[in-house]
């Protein structure tokens, strides 16, 4: 209705009531009763309906998650956790239109607040805008994958409140009220601009300009929302249920609510002046109230600001979220924000484990850095609330109290893989572990060290050996196994690196779908169901394989044993298996039995037996190639107690005592003799040293000429401990044949290294050269090698430069292979996953464009394989390995206790007391054309061996479906006994010995070293290596020269 009202009538109405409806004719219909249904009731009903509707929609979306339609939607819309979109044209257009449309909608409301009418033009414009907002709402619902929480997010609520009243209005335009909540669209302007900024749409503008515009939008948003809300509340007045009864005093009409309002404005120093005290007592009291109030506000606001600053700086306290478990991560890897930490957090907060996500606290003595902030921001949205960074000292009890470490489910001490001084890094982490053990002896602790030689310190100070592992030892041993079973590193890494199989990238190509099936495989634990009690492990495995579950290990007397085929399983015994999803595991397990407490109890009752492994290495193995520790050299091992025990209850083996006491003394005596010798004697020593190097290089040339050897290329000067681990892994007793090894290095190893690696092992030698020069590689017999492995280390430098050197070496080798039409497997270690962008995308060694890393070989820049590490063809073929997967191993230790021990059992095998080992065999002729299920049954029944994957078409297929058809060129990854490996060798199907080129006569290094490597100086001299001190042509050295040699 609209009728004229004179100023006198308006003033009269205002005097009788403060309601705006009694003053303005255009506000007559603006009451709570008139607007409640249209602007509050209908939106509330719509919100409830949408919240219920999204529950089945989310379930339906999960059903079609892997379909081509869902993949197409993700290409254009993306996902909620990823701001980047493969094809951003649609989302970019929508956000720009959202920003402009919401701004226009807000301006329409402001204009109506002056005209107090709804015109036909603005009504239809508003209708068109609301239909676009509805379309954008649906697009964002697809982006959120119809998550049940989406209807209750702030942008979705604003959309419903502003869209529903407009599109539901059926009355004539003249009856449409101008008052609404459409001014809230200004919040969508701010959100749209923020989304545009995150998506990279504004990357062409300067950061200062974007920041200035964002600040302006935030200011306008705040002002508009507050101003318009107050205006609406003043126009509508108080609802009848909130009408106040006032008391008339000299101060005016007052009530409890009025006095609360007045006191708050007074003590906060705002002071509107609409009320003031009139009595003497109230004035005296308000003086005290102002003094107390100002002090209170200043103090409390200061405390709040200080607490907020403490939390932002990482000095606050840990606050649990519900009943979620707590994981604490400390160590050098946290302080330097290593790539291993990034992999750890990514694995810990994988979407498939969302229901079990813990709270994760990172603690370091370093301040919060932009790298840490960026790392936490890259986590999924819901995970960001659970991951926090704290500044503190792990050695201080009060800092451990702040994090409530005693209540943590898992404490991880993460080493920095790029540390400059690795001994110092390990010693610092051992010290942290000691402090944690003293603080809370019952902690579930995992200590990651770098060097295997430093594991003895952890054992000697009382840490249990099962708590500790060496990253370099695991890596080197795994790469050695990959020489025998090419692609094994990829198979194991895919089991550790979880992926969301349902949201996988669709890649066209032969066998890629099967490869991605393997990406979805994970390691699960469960208890043996009662119905299988009394059966052998082989029979139990056969039944589980029918469910696409591959049991690989059993916990026996607290230890994890691989494929105990003859063992009779018992009910509720813990099994570790490879499975595609937890649903499949639930079908084959005792659902009512929680296996984790059973596993931990068995492990706790078992004796802590330190495995016999590469830790027997002399501490000085890298002393010649590594700088001394800043603390004055390597710290000596703590004094050991009687052999076989220590104060902490962990065993101290005899070799631990020897390496910590005898080796430094022997080394010091040798150094003293060298320093006391004269210049002539030192010159003679250098000649002898050069002669020894030439002898080893001659041995390497003989190995290269014979062919069939492994070539280990060291892309650094401090990798000898890893070279020792690599060599030891290939010299285990269970291996049926000894394959020669050539180590290619940039500088000659020291005497200690030669003693430990080259003189202690049969048919192992080295050659010095430049790995980027094809001629030097040719001297090492690269074209006749069975496999080439490149180990690298950044050693505190830029890991990308180290990776670049490896890529250049790989390109050099592959160019040489192409020229000679050869196919030699190569395994390259990368320090960073991002370095895959430097490498060509092709995975076949025979491809013509393999050796180039130029853009022409990179393929389609939108190819998902270009930026995703585990989808890179080189990685999928076993051509690349990255140690960051060890971060995933530590994260998986939270969800699957015992996974580290299982990984060690697979990698170290014999050193862990295992009886089954990894093998790679050619597919037997009788299995060609049959199913993978038939192969599994045949191997289990005939040889008690367990297949765990296939190598097909340059792709590693981890535990393929049982219905997979087998082809002639397939290679099979098998867990079997030493007798199985020997049988396969005799049958000619063992890959590591098939077509192995062996020299006619074994190479005897001792004959080449008799004259130059013995202390006595006795023995014959090789014809091409004159004894130091002789003149060419003179067959017998002088007596004086012989005497000098004896002294040396």
Residue whose structure tokens are 């991951």: 387
Q: How far is CA 740 from CA 710, 934, 987, 996, 1007, in A?
A: 6, 36, 22, 10, 17
For residue 180, the model assigns a pLDDT of: 87
Q: Kindly give, in sequence order, each residue whose CB lies less than 8 Å from that of residue 366, ignoring residues fewer than 6 positions away.
A: 335, 391
- Measured in Å, how far apart are the chain's first and last C-alpha atoms? 117
Rounded CA separation 704/697 (Å):
10
The encoded tokens of residue 499 equal 């992926």
Q: At what angle do helices 207-236 and 89-115 cross, to 10 degrees?
A: 40
Contact 593, 527 (CB under 8 A): yes
Find the DSSP H helices in 168-255. 185-198, 207-236
Q: What is the pLDDT of residues 67-77, one digit of tens each?
A: 888 888 888 88
67: left (phi over 0), alpha (psi -120 to 50) or beta: beta
Rounded CA separation 787/807 (Å):
17
Rounded CA separation 197/96 (Å):
11
For residue 287, the model assigns a pLDDT of: 86
For residue 1021, the model assigns a pLDDT of: 36
Strands (E), 737-861: 741-745, 764-768, 787-792, 826-830
For residue 129, the model assigns a pLDDT of: 93
Contact 220, 193 (CB under 8 A): no
Rounded CA separation 710/695 (Å):
19
For residue 135, the model assigns a pLDDT of: 93
Handedness of CA 200, 204, 206, 209 (dihedral sign): negative
Tell me how many degrees the CA angle 696-701-706 measures, rounded to the nearest 5.
125
Contact 482, 991 (CB under 8 A): no
Rounded CA separation 600/897 (Å):
8
Contact 971, 951 (CB under 8 A): yes
Q: Kindly give, in sequence order, each residue whose CB lies less than 8 Å from that of residue 90, ignoring residues fewer than 6 positions away.
A: 76, 77, 139
Contact 700, 780 (CB under 8 A): yes
Rounded CA separation 809/712 (Å):
13
For residue 50, the model assigns a pLDDT of: 93
Q: What is the pLDDT of residues 439-474, one digit of tens each?
A: 998 889 999 999 888 888 888 888 888 889 999 999
**How are strands ordered across the β-sheet holding 550-556?**
522-527, 574-579, 550-556, 559-562
For residue 1025, the model assigns a pLDDT of: 36
Q: What share of the chain is helix, strand, coil (3-state, %, to 5)?
A: 50, 10, 35
Residues of the chain with pLDDT under 70: 1-30, 81-84, 500-509, 582-592, 607-685, 796, 840-867, 995-1048
Contact 569, 528 (CB under 8 A): yes
Q: Is 58 helix (H, G, I), strand (E, B) or coil?
A: helix
For residue 300, the model assigns a pLDDT of: 79
Rounded CA separation 988/956 (Å):
22
Q: How far is CA 131 from CA 89, 156, 168, in A?
A: 20, 14, 11
Contact 560, 902 (CB under 8 A): yes
For residue 445, the model assigns a pLDDT of: 92
Rounded CA separation 645/668 (Å):
28
For residue 190, the model assigns a pLDDT of: 93
For residue 412, the model assigns a pLDDT of: 94
Phi, psi of 272 (to 5 degrees): -65, -30
**How are strands ordered across the β-sheet holding 955-958?**
917-922, 971-976, 946-952, 955-958
The H or E element containing residue 885 is helix 885-895
Instruction: Indicate the DSSP class of residue 361.
Output: E
Q: Radius of gyration (Cα) for the chain, nearest Å? A: 37
For residue 935, the model assigns a pLDDT of: 93
Q: How far is CA 105 from CA 190, 931, 941, 1035, in A?
A: 14, 63, 74, 104
**How are strands ordered across the β-sheet holding 880-882?**
764-768, 741-745, 710-715, 787-792, 826-830, 880-882
Residue whose structure tokens are 């979880």: 498
For residue 363, the model assigns a pLDDT of: 92
Rounded CA separation 408/392 (Å):
16
Handedness of CA 834, 835, 837, 843 (dihedral sign): negative
C-alpha 668 chain-centroid distance? 43
Contact 422, 717 (CB under 8 A): no
Tell me how many degrees the CA angle 829-835-841 measures, rounded to the nearest 5.
90
Rounded CA separation 817/811 (Å):
10
Phi, psi of 718 (to 5 degrees): -125, 40
Contact 255, 246 (CB under 8 A): yes
Contact 742, 777 (CB under 8 A): no
Handedness of CA 111, 115, 119, 121 (dihedral sign): negative
Contact 551, 592 (CB under 8 A): no
For residue 727, the model assigns a pLDDT of: 93
- Look at residues 733, 739, 734, 737 and name the one whose alpha carbon lies nearest to residue 979: 734
Q: Are strands 574-579 and 550-556 parallel, antiparallel or unpaired?
A: antiparallel
For residue 328, the model assigns a pLDDT of: 94
The encoded tokens of residue 83 equal 């701001």
């Amino acid at each position: 209705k609209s009728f004229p009202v004179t100023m006198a009538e308006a003033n009269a109405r205002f005097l009788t009531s403060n309601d705006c409806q009694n003053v303005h004719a255009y506000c007559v219909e603006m009451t709570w009763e008139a607007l409640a249904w249209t602007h509050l009731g209908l939106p509330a009903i719509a919100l409830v309906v949408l919240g219920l509707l999204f529950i089945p929609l989310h379930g339906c979306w999960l059903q079609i998650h892997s379909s081509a339609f869902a993949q197409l939607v993700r290409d254009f819309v993306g996902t909620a956790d990823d701001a980047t979109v493969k094809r951003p044209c649609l989302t970019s257009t929508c956000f720009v239109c959202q920003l402009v449309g919401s701004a226009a909608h807000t301006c329409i409301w402001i204009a109506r607040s002056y005209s107090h009418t709804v015109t036909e033009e603005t009504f239809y414009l508003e209708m068109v805008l609301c239909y676009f907002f509805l379309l954008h709402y649906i697009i964002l619902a697809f982006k959120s994958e119809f998550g049940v929480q989406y209807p209750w997010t702030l942008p979705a609520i604003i959309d419903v409140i502003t869209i529903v009243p407009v599109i539901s209005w059926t009355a004539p335009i003249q009856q449409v009220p101008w008052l609404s909540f459409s001014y809230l669209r200004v919040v969508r302007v701010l959100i749209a601009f923020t989304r545009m900024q995150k998506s990279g749409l504004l990357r062409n503008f300067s950061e200062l300009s974007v920041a200035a515009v964002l600040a302006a939008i935030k200011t306008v948003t705040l002002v508009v929302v507050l101003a318009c809300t107050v205006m609406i509340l003043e126009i509508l007045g108080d609802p009848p249920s909130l009408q106040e009864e006032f008391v008339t005093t000299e101060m005016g009409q007052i009530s409890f609510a009025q006095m609360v309002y007045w006191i708050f404005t007074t003590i906060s120093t705002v002071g509107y002046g609409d009320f003031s005290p009139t009595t003497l007592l109230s004035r005296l009291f308000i003086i005290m109230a102002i003094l107390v109030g100002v002090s209170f506000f200043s103090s409390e606001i200061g405390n709040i600001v200080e607490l907020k600053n403490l939390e932002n700086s990482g000095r606050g306290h840990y606050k649990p979220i519900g009943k979620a478990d707590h994981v604490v991560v400390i160590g050098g890897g946290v302080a330097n924000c290593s790539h291993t930490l990034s992999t750890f957090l990514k694995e810990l907060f994988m979407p498939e484990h969302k229901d079990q996500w813990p709270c994760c606290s990172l603690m370091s003595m370093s301040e919060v850095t932009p790298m840490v902030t960026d790392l936490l921001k890259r986590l999924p949205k819901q995970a960001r609330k659970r991951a926090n960074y704290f500044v503190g000292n792990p050695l201080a009890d009060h800092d451990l109290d702040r994090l409530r470490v005693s209540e943590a489910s898992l404490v991880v001490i993460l080493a920095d893989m790029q540390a400059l001084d690795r001994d110092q890094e390990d010693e610092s982490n051992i010290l942290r572990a000691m402090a944690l053990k003293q603080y809370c002896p019952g902690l579930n602790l995992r200590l990651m060290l770098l060097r295997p030689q430093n594991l003895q310190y952890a054992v000697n100070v009382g840490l249990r050996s099962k708590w500790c592992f060496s990253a370099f030892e695991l890596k080197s041993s795994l790469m050695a196994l990959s020489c025998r079973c090419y692609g094994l590193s990829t198979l194991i890494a895919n089991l550790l690196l979880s992926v969301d199989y349902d949201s996988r990238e669709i890649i066209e190509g032969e066998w890629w779908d099967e490869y991605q099936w393997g990406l979805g495989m994970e390691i699960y634990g469960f208890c043996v169901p009662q119905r299988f009690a009394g059966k052998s492990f082989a029979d139990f495995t056969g039944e589980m394989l029918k469910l696409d579950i591959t049991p690989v290990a059993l916990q026996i007397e607290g230890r994890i044993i691989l494929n105990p085929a003859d063992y009779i399983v018992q009910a509720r015994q813990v099994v570790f298996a490879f499975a595609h999803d937890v649903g499949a595991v639930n079908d084959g397990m005792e659902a009512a039995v929680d296996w984790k407490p059973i596993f931990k109890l068995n492990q706790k009752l078992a004796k802590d037996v330190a495995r016999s492994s590469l830790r027997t290495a002399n501490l000085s193995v890298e002393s010649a190639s590594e700088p001394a520790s800043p603390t004055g050299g390597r710290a000596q091992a703590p004094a050991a107690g009687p052999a076989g025990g220590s104060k902490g209850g962990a065993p101290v083996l005899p070799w631990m005592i020897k390496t910590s006491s005898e080796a430094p003394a022997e080394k010091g005596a040798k150094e003293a003799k060298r320093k006391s010798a004269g210049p002539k004697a030192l010159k003679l020593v250098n000649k002898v040293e050069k002669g020894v190097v030439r002898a080893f290089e001659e041995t390497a040339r003989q190995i290269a000429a014979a062919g069939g050897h492994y070539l280990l290329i060291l892309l650094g000067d401090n990798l000898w401990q890893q070279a020792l681990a690599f060599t030891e892994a290939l010299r285990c007793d269970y291996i049926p044949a000894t394959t020669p090894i050539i180590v290619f290095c940039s500088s000659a190893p020291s005497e200690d290294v030669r003693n430990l690696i080259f003189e202690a092992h049969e048919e192992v030698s080295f050659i010095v050269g430049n790995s980027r020069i094809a001629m030097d590689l040719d001297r090492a017999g690269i074209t006749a090698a069975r496999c080439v492995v490149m180990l690298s280390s950044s050693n505190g430098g830029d890991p990308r430069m180290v990776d670049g050197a490896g890529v250049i070496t790989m390109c050099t080798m592959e160019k040489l292979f192409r020229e000679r039409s050869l196919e030699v497997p190569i395994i390259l270690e990368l320090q960073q996953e991002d370095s895959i962008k430097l490498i060509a995308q092709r995975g076949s060694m025979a491809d013509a464009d393999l050796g180039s890393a130029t853009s022409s070989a990179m393929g389609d820049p939108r190819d998902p394989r270009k930026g995703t590490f585990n989808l890179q063809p080189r990685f999928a073929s076993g051509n690349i390995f990255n140690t960051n997967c060890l971060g995933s191993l530590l994260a998986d230790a939270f969800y699957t206790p015992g996974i580290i021990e299982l990984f060690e059992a697979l990698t170290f095998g014999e050193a862990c007391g295992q009886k089954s080992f990894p093998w790679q065999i050619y597919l037997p002729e009788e299995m060609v054309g049959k199913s993978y299920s038939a192969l599994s049954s045949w191997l289990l029944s005939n040889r008690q061996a367990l297949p765990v994957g296939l190598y097909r078409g340059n792709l590693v297929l981890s535990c393929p479906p049982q219905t997979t058809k087998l082809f002639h060129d397939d290679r099979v990854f098998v867990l079997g006994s030493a007798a199985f490996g020997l049988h396969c060798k005799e049958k000619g199907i063992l890959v590591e010995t098939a077509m192995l080129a062996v020299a006619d006569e074994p190479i005897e290094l001792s004959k080449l070293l008799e004259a130059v490597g013995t202390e006595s100086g006795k023995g014959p001299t090789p014809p091409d290596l004159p004894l130091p001190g002789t003149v060419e042509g003179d067959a017998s050295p002088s007596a004086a020269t012989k005497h000098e040699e004896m002294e040396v």
